[in-house]
Amino acid sequence: QVQLVESGGGLVQPGGSLRLSCAASRSIRNIENMRWYRQAPGKQRDLVASVSRNGVTSYEDSVKDRFIVSRDNSRNTVDLQMNGLGPDDTAVYFCNAQGGSICRGNACYRHDTSWGQGTQVTVSS
């Protein structure tokens, strides 16, 4: 289990940009995937972007030309740069850590899934 805290959400006008950040309580170097999900009111939680341990990124089709996900293992953070925002991007955005292992001292333990508390993004005029 790793504690995750998101920040950077807020209110932005259509066409604007926001940068979300996720800070982990411990090393994410050996976490297999760091991901961003989002959930709008009355809808399911959907995967938005993912970056693997090896730096391979993937995106939902609706955001792939507008969003960029990045991972900084030296700082234990993962960011989501969001450009060209529209009303359909309004949601609570969640940071997620999946798989791999967590190392403590000289011992490593299998990691399953960890979630942040979420940060609100609202796109409106």
Structure confidence at residue 104 (pLDDT) = 85
Which bin fits 106, alpha (ψ -120 to 50), beta or left (φ > 0)?
alpha
Structure confidence at residue 1 (pLDDT) = 85
Q: Give the whole-angstrom CA distance, residue 88 versus residue 41.
A: 11
Task: Single out the residue of 34, 112, 36, 117 nearest to residue 71, CA to CA.
Answer: 34
pLDDT in tens, the chain (125 residues): 899 999 999 999 999 999 999 999 999 999 999 999 999 999 999 999 999 999 999 999 999 999 999 999 999 999 999 999 999 999 999 999 999 999 888 899 999 999 999 999 999 99
Structure confidence at residue 72 (pLDDT) = 97
Whether residue 37 contacts residue 93, with contact meaning beta carbons closer than 8 Å, is answered with: yes
